[in-house]
Chain A
Amino acid sequence: MIALHAAVLFASYAAFFVAVVTGVLFLVQERRLKRKDPRVLQAVLPLELLDRVNLWSVLVGFALFSFGMIQGFLLARTRWGAFWTGDPKEVWSLATLAAYAAVLGFRASVGLRGRRIVFLSVVSFLLVLFTFVGVNYFIGGRHVFF
């Protein structure tokens, strides 16, 4: 159970990483296109495709991350006695989930597209990094092996 919990979350981090790579490519290319920088023609993938892959990897990452967290709550209940124990990993996971929920929410409700929303999906990865390794390194808590 705990191995699955880790595996699912690792997979979600990988999906969020794909969102970062496509997001950065999108932002660089979008900027060049706006500024009429001739280097825009060196791009291999169209903006539309980068945007699509960025969205889908956030969606997949979000789903896996949510699933991993639910598993975590169940594990916490059996091992630590409560669904929510206030462990720093739990707190930061919730913040990460909220950030990606915002990305998806803005896309779906306001129909926000392009530069800003892609940027948000890229910076949200900082929260992933902090949740993944930062918490263990700077704060500690009961999640000993990530």
Chain B
Amino acid sequence: MHIGVLGLNHRTTPVELREQMAFREEELPEALTAVRRELKIPECVILSTCNRVELYTLLPELNGHAARLREFLARFHQLDPAHLSDRFYWHLQPDSVRHLFRVAAGLESMVLGESEILGQVREAYAQAAACGSVGPVFHRLFQTAIRTGKEVRTKTRIGQGATSVSSVAVELARRIFRDFRSKTILTLGAGQMGEAALRSLQDQGVGSVLVANRTLAAAEPLALAFKGKAVPLTELEPALIQADIVISSTAADHYLLTRAQVHRIMTARRGRPIFLIDISVPRNLDPKIAELENVYLYDIDDLEEIASANRRRRLDEVTSCAAIVEDQLENFLTRISAAR
């Protein structure tokens, strides 16, 4: 018996093709049954996420399975197999097992150490088990993979520290404010960057949203989408007095807010702290604003610097994660050969 994996991921395949190769949840039972029937294999799990499609199979003997699995995938998704041939990787034991453990550990993820993949591995295993395509070997394989994923994240710092601009902004806001529900976010500009930052902050349960824009008509759809209120730029100062977090992302080529203005606003706020996030290039908020008391101003470079420092720190953890994976791999291989 051999454990094999055929797959493609964000490193081998562009997103357009990954989309076509992905399995929708409702397709999985059919696909799992078809693979087992057509290739006469006892156990199979399909892991399909937006960054990877992987077929884990238990093969009774080695007999051109890689080619037949590739063919199956192409046929299932109605794609030309010639189109796909160099996109796939194919691993056999022990590399296939190591690969799964590394995937579960987040070592193969686009964002190193991210934890979503562990849930997706667990989900893929549960779905395959529900279709009856998991037997004794894969039960043990996937349980060990999930355990490895957990161990890596608790024993190392691979999953720690925000790695994107908007998650750093959220993390900073959490170090300033206690109760997000009572807070107001104001966005300057109705652009995409601002919307992304707004979304990640609102996911934390922020109370109310104000959208200020040069043209009120452009602010209204965004305000509507976040159950907020659109305000014209002429009423910017009252909005700034009310807001706790301000995201600026306009295309303006000059400073929208000066030190003197914010000074006036801070007096009206009686020193209530304000967190200003300037993700526009060129900057919209005068850097001198940061000199004021109880004002915390971060521009895109400040946020990116923290994010990249965190990414580097995660990279430093890879060696210790790989060691945990190797330990678990050795244990697993010993156990299955003893069981046979």
| A34 contacts chain B at the CB level, 8 A cutoff | yes
Q: How large is the interface on A (under 10, 10 to 19, 20 to 34, 35 or more residues)?
A: 10 to 19
User: Residue of A at shortest CB range from B293?
Assistant: A114
User: Residue of A at shortest CB range from B271?
Assistant: A113
- Residues from chain B with Cβ under 8 Å of A40 in the complex: 172, 175
Give chain A interface residues in 51-72, CB to chain B under 8 Å: 52
A115 to B291, CA, bound (A): 13
- Residues from chain A with Cβ under 8 Å of B175 in the complex: 29, 33, 40-41, 43, 46-47
A41 to B313, CA, bound (A): 14
The answer to whether A113 touches B272 (Cβ under 8 A) is yes
Q: How large is the interface on B (under 10, 10 to 19, 20 to 34, 35 or more residues)?
A: 20 to 34
Give chain A interface residues in 11-64, CB to chain B under 8 Å: 29, 33-34, 36, 38, 40-41, 43, 46-49, 52
What's the A-B contact tally at a CB cutoff of 8 Å?
56
The answer to whether A112 touches B178 (Cβ under 8 A) is no
| A111 contacts chain B at the CB level, 8 A cutoff | yes
- Residues from chain B with Cβ under 8 Å of A143 in the complex: none
The answer to whether B271 touches A111 (Cβ under 8 A) is yes
| A77 contacts chain B at the CB level, 8 A cutoff | no
Residues 302-316 of chain B, each 1 if its beta carbon lies under 8 Å from chain A, else 0: 100110011000000
The answer to whether A48 touches B172 (Cβ under 8 A) is no
User: Residue of A at shortest CB range from B176?
Assistant: A47
Q: Which residues of B contact A (CB under 8 A)?
A: 161-162, 168, 171-172, 174-179, 270-273, 290, 293-294, 296, 298, 302, 305-306, 309-310
Q: Which residues of A contact B (CB under 8 A)?
A: 29, 33-34, 36, 38, 40-41, 43, 46-49, 52, 111-116
